[in-house]
Amino acid sequence: MINIKDIRFQILSICALLIMIGLIFIYNTSAPQAIRLERHELYFFIKQFIHVIIGFIALMAAYKIPLNFYRKFVMPIFFVTLILLIVVFFMPGANGAKRWIYLPFVTFQPSEIAKFTVVLYLAHYLDKKNDKMWDFMTGFLPATLLVGILAALIIVEPDFGTTTLIVIVAFTMFIVGGARLTHIFGIVGIVIPILVAALLAGEYRKARLLNFLDPWQDQYGVGYQLIQSLASVGSGGLFGRGLGNSTQKLFFLPEAHTDFIYAIIAEETGLIGASIVFLIIVFLFRKNLQAAFIHEDKFKRLLVFGLSFLIFVQSFVHVFVVIGLLPTKGLTLPFVSYGGSALVVTMFFIGVILRSIDEAEVQ
């Protein structure tokens, strides 16, 4: 018998633990970078702490919102997200990409909001069209096209990592939601060549893919980041160098406090510490799944499942990129990596999941 109150406490405790781990390693990895930028060594730590506070507010806001609110306003949320993804292209770019909306007091990535929107839309659609999902034209295709529009806008930014994440989560939700496997695999057969073509269209992304297979062929260029990540993980051994003793964070490993923070965790805490962090993430996924499948309401079940799976897949991809088993995607480690938009949105997800647990208690 599942104790619902225990699940709520366990989810909150795990998230708090991951955030604390993140704050420790963000300070640890970002202090040299802050000093080089002529900032205080606590600069990134303080900014992330502010992000945590904002994220907690987002979590509490989501916790107060009934899940039926999202069901009622799913299409307005979808179209607002669509508009935000279009507005991005009129914003200044950074490093050859346009991913941010800049406002006077805040900047954010609409692609982070799109993650929630895709999960919400599919949960609503798969529930509403439950008896038509086996029909390709009236059931499966319309949802695929609308999700495809959001994914297309994100990949054009370009943000290949987030696009891939959304596609994986969407097709998994189709499977769990009862769509025919023949339809799913048919669309997958179309989507994969499109993603590969988009990946190979840009010279830099093409080079990153080829250098993922053999990073040493361009060890001072595109392959440099992966080589430094592998060096960081390998030098940690079983028990690690000790907290604060990483050498790779000293400007050898780019994006050490964001896209490659797990490499520093592995270097300083070793295989044992890195494995514990990953197992904590797996345990969170397990608890979130329990929260999903206590619901008889298909919409609520799919909404919580989709958000839970999204957090886990992003964590999985981050770890596998760091250890060289996937090409570099530019995805952060949820709750742990530095970043405002990602943390706030992920904590919002947790608020939705906690709300779902409360609603399950009164079923």
pLDDT tens digits along 121-156: 999 999 998 888 888 888 899 999 999 999 999 998
* 203, amino acid identity: E
pLDDT at 246: 94
pLDDT at 363: 56
pLDDT at 75: 97
pLDDT at 320: 95
CB atoms near residue 246 (< 10 Å): 26
pLDDT at 202: 66
Which of 221, 264, 269, 196 shows the shortest CA–CA distance to 31?
A: 264
Six-digit token string for 88 = 């991005």
Structure letter (DSSP) for residue 134: T
Whole-angstrom distance, CA of residue 205 vs CA of residue 183:
30
Task: Give the angle subtended at the CA of 204 by the CAs of 200 and 209, to the nearest 5°.
Answer: 55
pLDDT at 221: 80
Whole-angstrom distance, CA of residue 87 vs CA of residue 85:
6
pLDDT at 214: 80
Half-sphere exposure of 74 (CA within 13 A, CB side): 19
Alpha helix stretches (DSSP H) within the chain: 4-36, 43-64, 67-72, 74-87, 110-128, 141-156, 160-177, 181-201, 203-213, 224-236, 261-292, 298-322, 340-361
| pLDDT beneath 50: ranges in the chain | none
